[in-house]
Structure 1
Amino acid sequence: MEQQMASLQQLKLISAKRQQSVDPTQFRRFKLAGRLEDQIALAQAMLERRTYTKERVRSVRDASGMRSSVQVHTRVKPWWWVMENGKLALSIRYGSRVIALSPKSNAIECASLNDVVQALATVKAVVEAGELDAAITAVSEKVRAGFKA
């Protein structure tokens, strides 16, 4: 017993309380950053002329009623589209809503798919830095209001 106490005295003992949940702003930031990573992977796959699907784990009941986890592939929808002038427009989405990047604009104009990858990487860095927190929070409230109605 005395030897155990001597071992414990070598450690720095503190009184700490574990944080129960992640800050909502930080959670939304991580969620959007994850979706941006998916879009970057999708754009790079399109540049390499291959398909990109995201693997997800789903819980499925078998014939006997037992639940099991199964990996399924889900399609990732691109956030960009071709405009009338032949350039690409890229919108940043949170759920089903488009984030307003500035008061007058909601999309980024890109000349090619390479520019889309660069724009997505730039937006991801901006999101991780917390510069779009106000816009993400505003859109998040609209998304949540849709579920309450």
Structure 2
Amino acid sequence: MSTLNSLKLVNSKKPTAIPPILHRRHKLGNKVWEQIQLAKAQKEGGTFTVKKFKTVKDYDGSRKNIEIEKRVRQWWYVAADGKVCLNIRYGAKIIEFAKGKTAVEVASGEELIKALEIIKGAVEAGELDTQIEQASGAVRAGFGR
């Protein structure tokens, strides 16, 4: 028993579900991570895809899981003045950072990666929770028709 006395013992219970805002943060954080990887791959001249599993039926009717590549669409584009503009999306909705400001403007691909990493940090810190909540509400409203 003397070895257990060196540990801090507490009464704790594992939560059964995570709060919705943490789930949304995690979802958006993963999508921003995909964009970072896509930007790095394009900078190096390669491609980036994400693998996912899909259940299909065989010719005899049995189901099996196959691994397919999921297409990752880039969230940035080159504006008319030659600068790179980055939109952050939650589902099909574009997140508005400030009133009327939906894009981040950067000069190059290197700055794009830095901007995406800053945004990922902001998402994980909870700085975009109100914007995520608004976008999530708009996405959910589209399903209620």
Q: TM-score, normalised by structure 1?
A: 0.88
- Give 2:130's aligned residue: 134
Q: Structure 1 residues 115, 64: closer, same or farther in 2, change over 3 A? A: same
Q: Structure 1 residues 65, 101: closer, same or farther in 2, change over 3 A? A: same
Given the alignment of the two structures, is residue 80 of structure 1 paired with residue 91 of structure 2, yes or no?
Answer: no
- Give 2:31's aligned residue: 35
Task: Give the structure with higher Rg (CA).
Answer: 1
State the Cα deviation string for residues 79-129 of structure 1 (Å, max 9, x = none): 000100011100000000000011130000010111111100000000000
Given the alignment of the two structures, is residue 120 of structure 1 paired with residue 116 of structure 2, yes or no?
Answer: yes
TM-aligned CA deviation for residue 137 of structure 1: 0.2
Instruction: State how 1:96-111 maps to structure 2 within 5 Å.
Output: 96-111=92-107
Q: Structure 1 residues 13, 66: closer, same or farther in 2, change over 3 A? A: farther
Which amino acid is 1:100 matched to?
E
User: 2:97 & 2:131 partners in 1: Cα distance?
Assistant: 7
Q: 2:65 aligns with which of 63, 69, 85?
A: 69
Which amino acid is 1:44 matched to?
K
TM-aligned CA deviation for residue 139 of structure 1: 0.6
User: 1:59 & 1:136 partners in 2: Cα distance?
Assistant: 30
Q: Secondary structure at the match of 2:45?
A: coil
Given the alignment of the two structures, is residue 50 of structure 1 paired with residue 49 of structure 2, yes or no?
Answer: no
User: 2:10 & 2:140 partners in 1: Cα distance?
Assistant: 42
User: 2:59 & 2:10 partners in 1: Cα distance?
Assistant: 52
Provide the aligned C-alpha RMSD in A.
1.8
After the TM superposition, which parts of structure 1 deviate over 3 Å for at least 4 consecutive aligned residues?
Answer: 9-14
Q: TM-score, normalised by structure 2?
A: 0.90
State the Cα deviation string for residues 5-42 of structure 1 (Å, max 9, x = none): x9xx999684x554221100000000000000000000
- Give 1:21's aligned residue: 17
Listed as ranges, the gaps of 5+ residues in structure 1 are: 1-5
Which amino acid is 2:20 matched to?
P
Which amino acid is 2:88 matched to?
I
- Give 2:86's aligned residue: 90
